[in-house]
Amino acid sequence: MTTLLKSATIIDTSSPFNNQVKDILITNGTITKIDNNIPNQKEYKTVKLDNLHVSTGWFDTSVSLGEPGYEERETIKHGLEVAAKSGFTEIAVNPNTNPVTENKASVEFLINKATNFATNLYPIGTLTQQSKGIEMAELYDMQQSGAVAFGDYNKPINNDNLLKIALLYAQNFNGLVLSFPKNKAIAGDGVANEGVNSTTLGLKGIPNLAEEMQVARDLFLLEYTGGKLHIPTITTEKSVKLIKEAKKKGLDVSCSVAVHNLLLTDDELHGFDGNKKVNPPLRTKKDVKALVKGVRDGVIDIITTDHNPIDIEHKKVEFSIAKDGTIGLESAFGALNTILDLETITNCLSKNPKERFQIKLNTIKENEKANLSLFTPNGEYTFTKNNILSTSKNSVFLNKKLRGKIYGIFNNKQLILNS
């Protein structure tokens, strides 16, 4: 199949065509020509879209899918289709399934279920057996089967020595260890950011300290052991400072922030909407400002949707007992496009996460594999349930003003476009 993308603005800091408007010819999944005007002489499939922009394909490092065990929330098949139509060519899938992804067989199950899709699926294996934080899981076996990292999704490793051993052991095969930034003893039964809003609303608070103590501990351990550490979904100003200092020391640490924590604050809690209950929680304006600055300065390497489908039975309940999590694939670009420039967005969604998780990064140039996200930064709209493609509808961005539109992706010799 041959596809011709017409008048595409290329956003790729590694490409010689960055910020240029070009035609792109793709033959059998490979970019064969990039030029100012490529005539369609052989009735190629032509893609001509309003203010078309293309970047290297986006990779989301934290996506939860229900299957196996929670198929009513989302299946692998449908989740990959949603990811493609949201602009993502790759996703890393969290191990919070039933059973959890903790061995060779469960990793291979996910990979086999995800074959022949436009969006690639990369499993994250648990760091500990059954994600219970007691004994280390079969990390090497899982990596040999295709796992790209190891972490217990949204569960902290309370045992300091266990994390120390994991960081030491994973160095034998260049494994990436994830450590969720939450001190369970300090967080307690908290359900929202500790502050004026939680006090006013009578909600148990989670102080910034709960995150920052864990980040500090993880960085101390990393300094002692060496190895590769990724701290997912940080939310506080102090966490940014701690990671910045660690990077200055030369520690091999990266971190991510969820899209919703870059835009929304705990002011959203008024109304007790269960869709606004996320883990880590929404913080303050001061924290949001520090997180955005951290992204712009390069301290925060990766932006993730932290996409976590939850069925209505576990969301439309009393706030304190609602399950944590929001979907985020469909709203990610539209939200980020309201606060960040395109090069920062694409670097944090593509170049940086792929390099960190050791995923092949294809540049937009001739004779490279076509791995592309297609979008336009133009057009404001209100995000409603009509914009949700996921099976579960638990979006924190419902009724928010977003900007831009996803056209689709080209990957694995497949063109996926939104209708």
For residue 337, is it within any domain?
no
Which run of H or of E encompasses 3? strand 2-11
Domain that holds residue 17: 2-53+366-417
Query: Side-chain half-sphere of 277: how many Cα atoms within 13 Å?
Result: 22
- Verify that 106 and 196 share a domain, yes or no: yes
Does one domain contain both 19 and 62?
A: no
- Say if CB 88 and CB 94 are below 8 A apart: no
Q: Is residue 250 domain-shared with residue 377, that is, in the same domain?
A: no
**pLDDT tens string for the chain (419 positions)?**
899 999 999 999 999 999 999 999 999 999 999 999 999 988 889 999 999 999 999 999 999 999 999 999 999 999 999 999 999 999 999 999 999 999 999 999 999 999 999 999 999 999 999 999 999 999 999 999 999 999 999 999 999 999 999 999 999 999 999 999 999 999 999 999 999 999 999 999 999 999 999 999 999 999 999 999 999 999 999 999 999 999 999 999 999 999 999 999 999 999 999 999 999 999 999 999 999 999 999 999 999 999 999 999 999 999 999 999 999 999 999 999 999 999 999 999 999 999 999 999 999 999 999 999 999 999 999 999 999 999 999 999 999 999 999 999 999 999 999 97
Contact 280, 261 (CB under 8 A): yes
| 267 part of the active site | no
Q: 374 and 292, same structural domain?
A: no
Number of folded domains that form the chain:
2
CA distance 75 to 391: 8
**What's the CATH number where 36 sits?**
2.30.40.10
Q: What is the largest CA-CA distance in the chain?
A: 68
Six token digits for residue 288: 């949001």
Beta-bridge partners for 24: 5, 34
382 and 233 in one domain? no
Residue 13 is which amino acid? T
What is the domain-level CATH number for residue 239? 3.20.20.140
* Distance separating alpha carbons of residues 100 and 214, to the nearest angstrom: 24
Q: Give the β-pairing of 401-411 and 58-63.
A: unpaired
Place of tokens 């969301």: 315
**Which entry of 152, 218, 301, 306 is annotated as an active-site residue?**
306
The answer to whether 230 touches 353, Cβ cutoff 8 Å, is no
Q: What are phi and psi of 37, to 5 degrees?
A: -150, 110
Beta bridge partner(s), residue 414: 411
